[in-house]
Amino acid sequence: MSSKHTTHLPPLDLSGWSKLPTVLMFIGGLLSLIALIKSPAEFGFSWLLAFMFYYSIALGALFLVIVHHLTNAGWSVGIRRFCEHLASLLFPWLAILFLPVLILSKKIYSWLTFDPATNNLVAAKLPVFTCTGFVVTSAIFFGVWWLLTSQLSRWSLKQDETGAAECTHKMRFYAGWGIVAFALTLTFSGVLWMKSLQYQWFSAMHGVYFFSGCAWVGLATVYVIAAVLLRQGTLKPVLQKNYFYFIGVLLLGFTLFSAYTEFAQYFVVWNANVPEETFWYLIRERGNWWTLSLVLIFGKCFIPFFILLPEKLKMNFKVIIPVCLWIWLMQACDLSFNIFPAHFAYGFPLHLVWEPLGTLMFAGGFLATVFLKKFNAHPPYPQRDPNLLEAMGVSQNAVSDLVDAQIAGGGR
């Protein structure tokens, strides 16, 4: 990268932030413990929100890794390694964070307490809508993610050592079937863990809607991490400034896609006018849920859309990083809009906002600690990726010509 791209980006000293994950874990853990003692049911919903939030980020990162291999992209080489680390949080770390959801499942999911013999809607979803079905299905999800993320990471690190073409072929192989597995597990896990909170509801759009949110918040997270690592100089060799333009374009695209899927779900449900579907939105017109729905309309679509639209702003860290933080907030609000009305049908009690805040802080501090250990244990970017020269902005044709010239010169 030329100096003109980095002169306005002084190195960022993170030494003062090194204890932040531990502080978040301590404060968040204390708040979570108080919430658990106060009301296990309320704590369960707050914990589910935190889990789904970081789960969506990990899924978004996994999607980017898979797309990188499927498209044989060059520009994304620089962000691939830390995306692999984010994706690898799915197992075992997010699986560990899922344990409180399993333990408190009967307080979170009302259908686990119903008798299928007297409830046709539950009976129609057997055998998944049983305690055993819930545990087994969840275990299958985590098993698929363990296999996919562990193999992608394994062959990526082996590529650093050997540079063998086999490593590239293996990663493309896992990405090939992985994109199908990704779509299925993301859709069904979103339905089982979040949509089923109100099991009477039907929505054919929910899987696509959940995917768009995962990719959206995943891209925002990748932009922030890449910007921080560039300012530190860690990814300076492989991150050209225009690569942030590419991430910004994807972020803009998924802003529109997320807004479209959310509106499409509402339009299909409302236009069909079926009581088993419309009740879900009727509940969310009560109390401050109505206010939150208006916030999401403007906050998820119009605000980020108009900021991301200009070409030059996509590479302006002072503008886009606050937008990415705003996207985190909107994703948390959107998940809250999906989760909490199942327990607080007439609006969320604002004096309890410390409960979800505590679970988000604890889970965030825990996962940040794991991520930093993973990142520091391996090279910050792929060392022998076949597209590494392209990521560095070096023309492979120019390199080939130089090698040929040196060989020709040596032969004379």
pLDDT at 270 over 90: no
pLDDT tens string 107-136: 999 999 998 988 898 999 999 999 999 999
Written as six digits, the tokens of 210 are: 């959940």
pLDDT at 1 over 80: no
Closest CA to 263 of 239, 286, 281, 242: 281
Inter-residue contact 209 to 265 (CB < 8 Å): yes
Amino acid at 220: A
pLDDT tens string 165-205: 999 999 999 999 999 999 999 999 999 999 999 999 988 89
Q: What is the pLDDT of residue 17?
A: 75
Tell me how far apart the alpha carbons of residues 89 and 95 are, in angstroms, rounded to a whole number.
9
pLDDT at 15 over 80: no
Tell me how far apart the alpha carbons of residues 158 and 8 are, in angstroms, rounded to a whole number.
36
Alpha helices per DSSP H over 72-203: 77-87, 93-103, 105-108, 120-123, 131-162, 165-193
Phi/psi of residue 306, each to 5°? -70, -25
pLDDT tens string 194-230: 999 999 998 889 999 999 999 999 999 999 999 999 9
Tell me how far apart the alpha carbons of residues 291 and 138 are, in angstroms, rounded to a whole number.
33
pLDDT tens string 333-382: 999 999 999 999 999 999 999 999 999 999 999 999 999 999 999 999 99
Scored b (16 or more CB within 10 A) or e, 230-255 reads bbeebbbebbbeebbbbbbebbbebb
Q: What is the pLDDT of residue 8?
A: 41
Q: What is the pLDDT of residue 400?
A: 52
Give the total number of structural domains in the chain.
Answer: 1
Helix axes 241-272, 77-87, angle to 10 degrees: 50
Q: What is the pLDDT of residue 45?
A: 98
How many CB atoms sit inside 10 A of residue 269's CB? Answer: 21
Q: What is the pLDDT of residue 12?
A: 46
How many CB atoms sit inside 10 A of residue 29's CB? Answer: 17
How many CB atoms sit inside 10 A of residue 315's CB? Answer: 18
Phi/psi of residue 103, each to 5°? -65, -40
pTM > 0.75: yes or no: yes
Taking the mean position of all CA atoms in its chain, how far away is CA 366?
16
Q: What is the pLDDT of residue 276?
A: 80
- Its domain, for residue 390, covers 3-411
Inter-residue contact 155 to 81 (CB < 8 Å): no
> For residue 114, is it left (φ>0), alpha (ψ between -120 and 50) or beta?
beta
Helix %, strand %, coil % for the chain, to 5? Answer: 80, 0, 20
How many CB atoms sit inside 10 A of residue 346's CB? Answer: 11
